[in-house]
Amino acid sequence: MATKCVHCGSTKFGPGCPSSLNGLHKHNTTEKKCMYCGKSAYGNGCLQAPTRKHIHGSGGGKCKYCGKIASNTMGCPHSPNRKHET
């Protein structure tokens, strides 16, 4: 089942959201997919996210920035505050 943008309800990813402040579609995804592009990749390289980093939804106890199972500990190379966040 396709996810929908939390701002406008569209199934599209990337730019073009009329309801978000930055114009980007953002989905409420699981830990398996990036909320800005829908890909399974972690780290740098998301062309749709404002930070150009893949950010996944929550679930499975995984860090949404790097995918490691390490909740609220330091050491995430992709998190803005260097903390693993679930």
Closest C-alpha among 49, 22, 51, 23 to residue 36:
49
pLDDT in tens, 41-71: 999 999 999 999 999 998 889 999 999 997 7
CB neighbourhood size of 70 (10 A): 17
Closest C-alpha among 43, 39, 40, 37 to residue 66:
43
**Biggest alpha carbon distance in the chain?**
36
Positive or negative, the Cα torsion across 59, 66, 15, 11?
negative
Mean pLDDT of 77-85: 94
pLDDT of residue 1: 65
